[in-house]
Structure 1
């Protein structure tokens, strides 16, 4: 089986698109012995530079002219590789207009129409910009054989919005972006209630609400609570007595990565009540460490976090008091809390890892080639 792999950004660098191209490629390479990466660094750099104007309602990656530039480069590479199948990861703008003779299995967090009508940051797009994006998306769908999206939310919206059937679009949860599976360790029984926030987009991922929840927990526990913030340095959190701001942690550096592991293993809950989240790899990472996630019912999050089993998902309009009550009820029931930790870890082992994702890709390829 010869597989050509195309992703939204280069899969040769861990930092690309939150690490998803890197880890998905590694999973594909473990699954198939003959994998060829179709990388487009020159075009990618050009697009990155042009993307600086997206704030004026120009979606560079969803412009048909840009997609046609990718078409020529990728068609030439595929002709040389002669793959049995092309696996595309969130690379709609690269694969939209390639030669339809190539069988394609496409995986992403969600399709264009789903995302652009969900995230508030895309409200600046005018009708023309959205129409161009839809042209690119629908062109890809017209010659893509199987589509695997990361959540039921994305799948259901794709079926409704684009008229796709369940035979064409399925669900394949993405995995945790970690190199080695961490040892499962029970959460500490001594010390304060420790919360961990992991994310760069502080506002969108519910950071201000996290601080309000922390204040409520601080009041109810008599100060027996801590919050550790990774990935962000919000001004509102600096100087608070029970908050430690770690900023960015380079997981590629062994010393820094060990600090990341230690922070998770000392934590009791991941706290990330996102306002919008098409998926959320961080929830998978939390499950890998066996720590329940505290999240919201939005986007693809309920596919990852099972309310009352592996964590908790609250409504978008839930108050800090609502969160504090759920957290303290769970934390005070040590038997129930430990069971939730183990259920989270089991869910990672059985579902929320990249090898399970690549198994779904392999199933889609087998079904596709059996009908071609």
Structure 2
């Protein structure tokens, strides 16, 4: 019989909303509800116009005088507001542990004896200058954000990250005890169970469809993918490129564009599944990536991945196992050669397809995540005074 515990799920977003963090919050909540008798949702946290208005004005003034941005999300004003909201939520509660789901600012000023399990996909300092929207901040805003996140780390009792990249950085940055830091991979954000027989019978000896998934053409390496397509065609390979999630600034007769699919709509989710069935390789030469749920979704459909060795990607995609991660400075020609070599080795493709399905079954799904998180959370509760 499972040991009982009540978990407080803290996020400023609504974890019941499948759009929150691209569905990741919803999957976490569902997984934890399977593992614990009670999960108390401590969000969403309303955002008063006055708070938002002040933050926007600070940002505008900063841009006007310093030509720099102000971090509208990780700042003291919002953190103090979160403190008062959370204080009311947990007062007189019977919560055994607070699960801080990407909620650094929400816990930074919290005062409680309830142990906190902190989860994030990256540190503020990792994102700084790495993601386009984490660039050109004013120095005082950077200091403020670092202060907020340091307090969040200090308040927590255990730490969970989806990648070795994030975990190792946090250990070094904040001098954390390794035994309190855990790597637990996120899963594919889907309820659908793919038809394995359909996947294993997919033909790789006719037209090959490369799939590019991403909302941001530039950040996901769209230009590299497009140039790679042209090189592959020049080599005489029978390939197409399907772009889903954005509208590229370029066109090609061998490139199909699906601007957007809303996964919250059953019909469009079915279209997404069919797209995965029809794809032979997931090709996303991303420029910055904390993790990459899309690589988990590819694994669920047995699709080998060609991508970049950056951020947390290599925790999911293992060279020669379920795909390849090329160096950050790899050229379109290097990607084209890698794809060509793989397509010329049917035995390796077959192995990668099977390996991908196996990784999804054993590692890259939310049931596995939930079971691992239960162990971490129960250990955190037992060792809260250490």
Superposed CA RMSD = 1.8
Of the three residues 37, 40, 44, the one matched with 1:40 is: 44
The answer to whether the Cα contact below 8 Å between 1:50 and 1:60 also exists between their aligned partners in 2 is: no
Q: In structure 1, the residue corresponding to 2:109 is in which secondary structure?
A: coil
Identify the residue that residue 107 of structure 2 maps to in structure 1: 95
Q: What are the residue-to-residue correspondences of 1:45-64 with 2, within 5 Å?
A: 56=63, 57-64=69-76
Identify the residue that residue 6 of structure 1 maps to in structure 2: 10
TM-score normalized by the length of structure 1: 0.94
Between stretches 334-343 and 246-255, larger displacement belongs to 246-255
TM-score normalized by the length of structure 2: 0.91
Q: Does 1:164 align with 2:176?
A: yes
Between stretches 75-84 and 211-220, larger displacement belongs to 75-84
Identify the residue that residue 218 of structure 1 maps to in structure 2: 233
CA distance in 2, matches of 1:249, 1:81: 40
The answer to whether the Cα contact below 8 Å between 1:9 and 1:44 also exists between their aligned partners in 2 is: no
CA distance in 1, matches of 2:18, 2:71: 24
What is the aligned length? 369
Of the three residues 205, 210, 216, the one matched with 1:201 is: 216
Distance 1:207 1:44, change over 3 A: farther
Q: Does 1:26 align with 2:30?
A: yes
Identify the residue that residue 353 of structure 1 maps to in structure 2: 365
Shift of 1:269: 0.5
Q: Does 1:229 align with 2:243?
A: yes
The answer to whether the Cα contact below 8 Å between 1:274 and 1:296 also exists between their aligned partners in 2 is: yes
The answer to whether the Cα contact below 8 Å between 2:117 and 2:158 also exists between their aligned partners in 1 is: yes
Q: In structure 1, the residue corresponding to 2:14 is in which secondary structure?
A: coil
Q: What are the residue-to-residue correspondences of 1:227-306 with 2, within 5 Å?
A: 227-237=241-251, 240-306=252-318
Identify the residue that residue 364 of structure 1 maps to in structure 2: 376
Q: In structure 1, the residue corresponding to 2:306 is in which secondary structure?
A: strand
The answer to whether the Cα contact below 8 Å between 1:297 and 1:313 also exists between their aligned partners in 2 is: yes
CA distance in 2, matches of 1:181, 1:104: 33
Identify the residue that residue 71 of structure 1 maps to in structure 2: 83
Between stretches 95-104 and 298-307, larger displacement belongs to 95-104
Distance 1:350 1:44, change over 3 A: farther
The answer to whether the Cα contact below 8 Å between 1:8 and 1:89 also exists between their aligned partners in 2 is: no
CA offset digits 1:267-309 (Å, max 9, x no partner)? 1110111111111111111111110111101010000100111
The answer to whether the Cα contact below 8 Å between 1:47 and 1:60 also exists between their aligned partners in 2 is: no
Identify the residue that residue 342 of structure 2 maps to in structure 1: 330
Q: In structure 2, the residue corresponding to 1:62 is in which secondary structure?
A: coil
CA offset digits 1:226-263 (Å, max 9, x no partner)? 111110011213xx111110111112222211111111
Identify the residue that residue 134 of structure 1 maps to in structure 2: 146
The answer to whether the Cα contact below 8 Å between 1:150 and 1:279 also exists between their aligned partners in 2 is: yes
Shift of 1:51: 6.9
* Gaps in structure 2 of 5+ consecutive residues: 64-68
The answer to whether the Cα contact below 8 Å between 1:47 and 1:61 also exists between their aligned partners in 2 is: no
CA distance in 2, matches of 1:5, 1:105: 10
The answer to whether the Cα contact below 8 Å between 2:51 and 2:77 also exists between their aligned partners in 1 is: no
CA distance in 2, matches of 1:51, 1:160: 31
Identify the residue that residue 113 of structure 1 maps to in structure 2: 125
CA distance in 1, matches of 2:51, 2:277: 40
Between stretches 139-148 and 38-47, larger displacement belongs to 38-47
